[in-house]
Amino acid sequence: MAEQTAQVNRMATVTIFIIGAFVTILNQTLLVTALPHIMSDFDITADQGQWLTTAFMLTNGILIPITAFLIEKYSTRKLFLFAMTTFSIGTLVAAAAPAFSLLLVARIIQAIGAGIMMPLMQTVFLTIFPPEKRGTAMGMFGLVIAFAPAIGPTLSGWIVDSFSWHYLFYIVLPIAVIDLVLAIFVLKNVTTLKESKIDVLSVVYSSIGFGGILYGFSSAGTSGWVNWEVMGTLGIGALSLILFIIRQLQMEKPLLEFRVFKNFTFTITTIMGMLVFGLMIGTETILPLYTQNLRDVSAFHSGLMLLPGAIMMGILSPFVGAIFDKIGAKLLAIIGFFLMTVTTIPFAFLELDTSLSFIVIIYTLRMAGTALVMMPLTTAGINALPNHLIPHATAMNNTFRQVGGSIGTAILITIMTNTIKYGDFTNPADAQITGMDAAFLAAVLLSAIGLIMAFFLRRKNDDGSNRVTANKPGMEN
């Protein structure tokens, strides 16, 4: 009976977190196709409008590294209720925002809740499931990671064409509130609390470091690398991050435990995870540019073209998680990266008359490869660490995934824009298509690097026998 009750509580916890994660991730991409309408309503420039996305991302990047401390300091219930309440308040303010400045503040409030949600969800899943079942649990997490961002542009395009951008937030709000009410009555505390104190200087270094790097790479995609703002923020971010790492290694109880990178499995899976996320976000950025700018496809239908890929990844993720529990990450990663590499090659040869149906099919197969790689890598890396380091590992994983997304997008966009800028073209359309082809060729190379790295993974899952604590010297794989 006790085991049955525990099973019910576990499923209730999983359901509450999946709903919470879904609305917070969906919220990130809802504004993609709504920005022109918001810019028109508030009479603002594209640079100003872009801050609605940039501010959200920066707040996430600043907050996520602090979540390891928060998870150790506060109970599961308190932290989830705070995150979802904050997100709901931000959503309500955004829905009714009469001015751009208030909408921007609302996005930052939303981001505070969303930034806590993702690492907390991963930590809880990895705590309530034993190592041999974590793949299945993280497969459900992968479903959310894949599906929510992909339906965002499609849903957004339909809503802003049919109603008003305000309804983007009115749709999200009731889901968030229902999830909040469910959590109040059902959610149990599952994480282990520790005596922790916040180190203010570490928070300052972390915020400037990760914030500067995320902003710098994001800006490089549009402003170019040879730009004082880009180079300045990247330089300040890198310096602050170095100071942050040095301080963490000197502290007995660091804000974020960088010694997890002494574990080979965690390090290589984190790097590969950055590659996957960067390639996924970069592709989702460039393909709509091709379909909308060069093929005159509407924003709604452009988003709709990405939907089969999201559905494919969503369907596969739970099955991939179950397979991971049996065979580990190595074979899945090899097959996944091979599929990603092969299906990216056709994108490097796009032409002005390439079949749109062909693009949808290839993109869907590419997302199948992504499903085979993304969550198994995360789970394999965290499984290689002892349980008390899970909060630090999830915070680190989410932070570096965001950095990977920014870097990947910046690299691909920069290659595309430089090819257009410095190429010898008489036709602007030819210049754009050549730039996109060059960007996707770089994506092929990055995917191939991931494929090579996959061969260095362990053949089977870590059973815990080789785990060592971060505060012991000689931490290894």
Q: What is the 3-state secondary structure (H, E, C) of 109-170?
A: HHHHHHHHHHHHHHHHHHHHCCHHHHHHHHHHHHHHHHHHHHHHHHHHHHHHHHCCCHHHHH
- Full-model pTM: 0.79
Q: 195 burial class (0-12, 13-18, 19+ CB within 10 angstroms)?
A: exposed
For 399-451, what is each residue's pLDDT tens digit? 888 788 778 877 888 888 888 877 778 888 888 899 999 999 999 999 999 99
Tens of pLDDT, residues 26-80: 887 777 667 777 888 888 876 677 678 778 777 877 787 788 788 888 888 999 9
**pLDDT (mean) for 350-359:** 92
Q: pLDDT value at position 462?
A: 54
Mean pLDDT of the chain: 83
Highest mean pLDDT among 154-163, 276-285, 323-332: 323-332
> In this predicted structure, which of 64-78, 185-199, 243-257 has the lowest mean pLDDT?
185-199
d(CA 396, CA 71): 13
Confidence of residue 179 (pLDDT cuts 50, 70, 90): very high
Can you tell me which residue has the tokens 């309503």? 41
Name residue 63's amino acid: L
Residues 337-347: what's their mean pLDDT?
96
Q: Identify which of 97-101, 381-385, 441-445 has the greatest average pLDDT.
A: 441-445
Residue 89 has pLDDT above 90, yes or no: yes
Residues 6+ apart with CB under 8 A from 311: 147
